[in-house]
Structure 1
Amino acid sequence: MSTITLQEPVSRAELWSGRVLSGLVTLFLLFDGAIKLIPLPVVTQTMDQMGYGASDAMARALGLITLLCTVLYALPPTSFVGAILLTGYLGGAIASHVRIGSPLFSHVLFGLYLGLMLWGGLWLRDRRLRALLPRLR
């Protein structure tokens, strides 16, 4: 097992792959947060179907939390904290879908897919995270 030091540079391909993954996650979560801030009828209807009620106030609060955590993730100095907060947020989404019996691969595991992209993108672009979680060979 090799360890990565903080001096080891990230290759251009890894850096850009990480930026693309992180960018996709960021764009999706910004969109998700924005539609909750408005809130669009599809948001409140979905919240009602999930057992949380069709509350505009709750939708706005979730939108604000999503946007705040996503901005923290998008900014390099706070990306690790943002990733941790978004992991908790996505875990709550997974738990909500499990509770109502949503389809496994399309709904329940969507938060896992997004979380893997989130952490994978951060790992590829941030050598500090690589030092903390080195890859195994």
Structure 2
Amino acid sequence: MTVIAENYPASSPARWIGRILSGLVIVFLLFDGAIKLVPWPIVTETMERMGYGSSDALMRGLGAITIVCTVLYAIPPTSILGAILLTGYLGGAIASHVRIESPLFTHTLFGLYLGLMVWGGLWLRDANLRSLMPFRRTLLQQRSQ
């Protein structure tokens, strides 16, 4: 099967905004994953508040998953796979906050905000992803008419 995809080049400012957004997400998630690898009291208290107990193995496992997914997102050839995995991870975080009835805009939707930054940054810096987005193609076609 042959797939023909048109590449829509992004302007230089758009690419830089995408890199900055992606960089912010990468730094935040690497920090988040790293602190879960160390059994600090604040991390264990947060895990208990979320209803996961104080299991060091679970905490370290979540930290490792966060770091692996973030590294995949940071490497250009695997960035789409990393974004997909991070979307699932952030969806789980949202579900956990819904379950314990966290504040909506500050805690529950934080995973959504981060997910929008993940995909927005990737969309701005990756021409192949832009070519897959149908609304982008429609907008370009409208401009040319």
State TM-score, norm by structure 2. 0.88
Partner of 2:28: 28
- Does 2:73 correspond to 1:73? yes
- Does 2:55 correspond to 1:62? no
In structure 2, runs of 5+ residues without a counterpart are 140-145
TM-superposed CA distance for 1:86, in Å, is: 0.2
- Structure 2: how far apart are the matches of 1:105 and 1:39? 28
Matched residue of 1:44: which SS? helix
- Structure 1: how far apart are the matches of 2:68 and 2:130? 25
In structure 1, runs of 5+ residues without a counterpart are none
Following superposition of structure 1 onto structure 2, how do residues 1-137 of structure 1 map, counting pairs within 5 Å?
5-6=6-7, 8-134=8-134, 135=136, 136-137=138-139
Kindly, what percent of the aligned residue pairs are identical? Answer: 71
Matched residue of 1:15: which SS? helix
State TM-score, norm by structure 1. 0.93
**Which AA in structure 2 matches 1:16?**
W
- Structure 1: how far apart are the matches of 2:77 and 2:13? 22
CA RMSD, Structure 1 to Structure 2 (Å): 1.1
TM-superposed CA distance for 1:40, in Å, is: 1.8
TM-superposed CA distance for 1:39, in Å, is: 2.6
TM-superposed CA distance for 1:57, in Å, is: 1.1
- Structure 2: how far apart are the matches of 1:9 and 1:49? 46
- Structure 1: how far apart are the matches of 2:39 and 2:79? 27
- Structure 1: how far apart are the matches of 2:59 and 2:87? 19
Deviations 1:18-72 (A, max 9, x none): 0000000000000000000113211111111111101111110000000000000
- Structure 2: how far apart are the matches of 1:9 and 1:47? 43
Matched residue of 1:5: which SS? coil
